[in-house]
């Protein structure tokens, strides 16, 4: 392995490949910032460039740089505009945007950068040490386990119990689950609930929905309730630095989520989006009561968790790609296509036949993460200034990027109608104080929940998989624990409070 490391380092540190890392990261970050343009479309655009270079290591290093650069950059628009650029950074806006709104945009971006850096680096380290062994982990999960994993994700909703909005949160989750059933599922030959509208046959787009739930209501709120939104946007970037106590608070979160995110990324059926939601859910549910209240209102933990997890998961998704030749996500599927175009066959033979490619990619991940950190930290004060733009300029700016983002991913004008329609509904729901995040969580998990559940039902001729597969049972137990724990804590706290009152 040491030999491989040296070869990799040597390859990755060549001038050409260093330029590739830096170029890839730059392109990825800047395009990733634009809402709607995810890593998948950026990589698809970059493929002709990469292939024409002819050198597989350089091409893969470039594309990998674009990939994690895009995830890195995607958080910027989530945090500043509440307009997630990439599905994987939707969860980052839950707490990132409230932070930015209260004048802590700089700090939020700094936390996002550091969390991403840590997640990516730890991921690369795990990839380096365990990649061959991890190929079996990638195959550990059957449909039954994926189903249980989605249930764990849904348990995030329970965390809203603390805010006294249980019923509302549950309603929104169910709404999200219902919306996920629209379109042609993987399991049915016929479209469902499309009302004969062809544009609905592939279901609602996640990015469109995320924009409609977050970015559009935000812009409408700026118009409708200007006073409420006034605070904090004075252009001062307060608190760029993270205090020591804050660092201490997010360090364990970053540690846990680097590992959790990476392992979820390794699973071919999950990916960065699921990893970020699960990361958010788990951190929220295990946080102490007082901090739990903070989640959704600008908790630094709530931002650090998904930011770490999505970057770690991106790195993790290279495990099935490089060691098995199986793409776990759309993005890695495109990468696989590019590799094959360059006459490189990813799979178990890659490490043996062409170790320089394998190791160079891993080494370039370390370099890329470092580049991204160095690139982003000094730019943060300038990027954060977006928020100091006067409202009459900012609103059209948000509207433009929201509409463009929804259109550009699908090239489909119907997305715009859906976006505006849902955006208006979402604004009404926000006025009624319904939380919108549970809807998105329900939506993103719903499809996979259903697919994996019915696959398992089919495979086991019933629900026998729940007790026949110990890992499924274990994950379901964890989900139950995550649901029960916060309400148990809440009850205990209430009991204690009552006890004190009695004492008086």
Partner 1 sequence: MTTFKLGRRALMATAVAAMAFGGSAMADGHKVADSIHFLIPGGAGGGWDGTARGTGEALTKAGIVGNASYENMSGGGGGKAIGFLIENAESNHGTLMVNSTPIVIRSLTGVFPHNFRDLTLVAGTIGDYAAMVVGKDSPINSMEDLMAAYDADPSKTAIGGGSVPGGMDHLVAAMVMEAAGKDALGVKYIPYDAGGKAMAALLSGEIAALSTGFSEAVDLANAGEVKIIGVTADERVSAAPDAMTMKEQGIDTSFVNWRGFFAAPGLPDDKLAMYQKALGEMYETDEWEEVRARNGWVNIHNSGDDFQSFLEDQEKVIGDLMKKLGFL
Rounded Cα distance, 58 and 71, in Å:
20
Rounded Cα distance, 143 and 450, in Å:
10
135/285 with CB nearer partner 1: 135
- Closest distance between partner 1 and the C-beta of residue 48, in Å? 5
Task: By CB under 8 A, name the binding residues for partner 1.
Answer: 27, 30-31, 33-34, 37, 40-42, 44-49, 52, 138-143, 184-191, 198-199, 201-202, 268-269, 320, 324-328, 330, 332-334, 336-337, 340-341, 343, 345, 347-349, 382-383, 385-386, 389, 397, 410-412, 414, 451, 455, 458-459, 461
- Closest distance between partner 1 and the C-beta of residue 301, in Å? 30
Long-range contacts of 285-289 (CB under 8 A, 24+ apart): 285/155, 285/156, 285/158, 285/159, 285/482, 285/485, 285/486, 286/482, 286/485, 289/162, 289/486, 289/489, 289/490, 289/493
- Closest distance between partner 1 and the C-beta of residue 190, in Å? 7
- Closest distance between partner 1 and the C-beta of residue 202, in Å? 6
Q: What are residue 56's phi and psi, to 5 degrees? A: -60, -40
- Closest distance between partner 1 and the C-beta of residue 37, in Å? 8
186/251 with CB nearer partner 1: 186
DSSP 280-296: HHHHHHHS-HHHHHHTT
Rounded Cα distance, 420 and 403, in Å:
9
2/190 with CB nearer partner 1: 190
- Closest distance between partner 1 and the C-beta of residue 326, in Å? 5
146/277 with CB nearer partner 1: 146
Q: What is the dihedral of CA 78, 319, 28, 359, to 10 degrees?
A: 140
Q: What are residue 183's phi and psi, to 5 degrees? A: 105, -175
184/246 with CB nearer partner 1: 184
- Closest distance between partner 1 and the C-beta of residue 199, in Å? 5
User: What is the Cα Rg of the chain in Å?
Assistant: 22
Rounded Cα distance, 109 and 384, in Å:
8
107/469 with CB nearer partner 1: 469
| Residue located via tokens 């982990």 | 137
């Amino acid at each position: 392995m040491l030999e491989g490391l040296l070869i990799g380092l040597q390859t990755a540190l060549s001038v050409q490949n260093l330029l590739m890392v830096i170029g890839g990261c730059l392109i990825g970050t800047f395009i990733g910032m634009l809402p709607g343009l995810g890593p998948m479309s950026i990589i698809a655009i970059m493929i002709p460039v990469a292939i024409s270079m002819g050198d597989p290591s350089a091409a893969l290093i470039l594309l990998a740089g674009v990939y994690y650069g895009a995830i890195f950059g995607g958080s910027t628009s989530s945090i500043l505009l509440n307009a997630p650029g990439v599905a994987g950074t939707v969860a980052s806006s839950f707490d990132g945007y409230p932070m930015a709104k209260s004048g802590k945009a700089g700090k939020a971006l700094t936390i996002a950068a550091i969390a991403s850096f840590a997640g990516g680096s730890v991921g690369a380290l795990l990839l380096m040490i365990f990649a061959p062994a991890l190929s079996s982990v990638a195959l550990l999960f059957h449909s039954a386990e994926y189903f249980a994993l989605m249930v764990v994700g849904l348990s995030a909703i329970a965390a809203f119990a603390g805010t006294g909005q249980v019923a509302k949160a549950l309603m929104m989750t169910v709404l999200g689950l219902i919306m996920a059933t629209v379109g042609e599922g993987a399991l049915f030959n016929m479209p469902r609930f499309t009302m004969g509208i062809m544009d609905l046959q592939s279901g609602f787009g996640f990015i469109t929905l995320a924009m409609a739930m977050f970015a559009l209501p935000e812009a409408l709120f700026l118009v409708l309730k200007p006073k409420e939104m006034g605070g904090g946007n004075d252009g001062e970037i307060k608190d760029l630095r993270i205090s020591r106590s804050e660092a201490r608070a997010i360090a364990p979160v970053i540690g846990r989520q680097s590992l959790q995110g990476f392992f979820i990324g390794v699973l071919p059926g999950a990916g960065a989006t699921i990893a970020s939601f699960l990361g958010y859910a788990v951190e929220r549910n295990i946080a102490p009561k007082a901090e739990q209240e903070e989640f959704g209102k600008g908790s630094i933990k709530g931002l650090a968790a998904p930011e770490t997890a999505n970057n770690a998961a991106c790195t993790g998704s290279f495990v099935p790609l490089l060691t098995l030749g199986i793409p776990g996500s759309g993005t890695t599927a495109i990468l696989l296509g590019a590799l094959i175009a360059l006459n490189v066959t990813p799979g178990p033979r890659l490490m043996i036949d062409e170790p320089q490619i394998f190791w160079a990619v891993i080494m370039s991940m370390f370099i890329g993460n470092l580049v991204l950190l160095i690139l982003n930290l000094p730019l943060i004060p300038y990027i954060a200034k977006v928020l100091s733009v006067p409202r009459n300029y900012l609103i059209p700016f948000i509207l433009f990027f929201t509409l463009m983002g929804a259109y550009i991913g699908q090239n489909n004008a119907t997305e715009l109608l859906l976006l505006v329609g849902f955006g208006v509904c979402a604004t009404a729901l926000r006025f009624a104080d319904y939380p919108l995040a549970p809807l998105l969580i329900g939506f993103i998990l719903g499809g996979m929940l259903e697919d994996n559940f019915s696959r398992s039902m089919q495979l086991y001729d019933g629900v026998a998989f729940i007790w026949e597969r110990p890992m499924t049972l274990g994950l379901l137990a964890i989900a139950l624990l995550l649901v029960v724990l916060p309400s148990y804590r809440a009850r205990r706290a209430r009991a204690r409070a009552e006890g004190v009152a009695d004492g008086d």
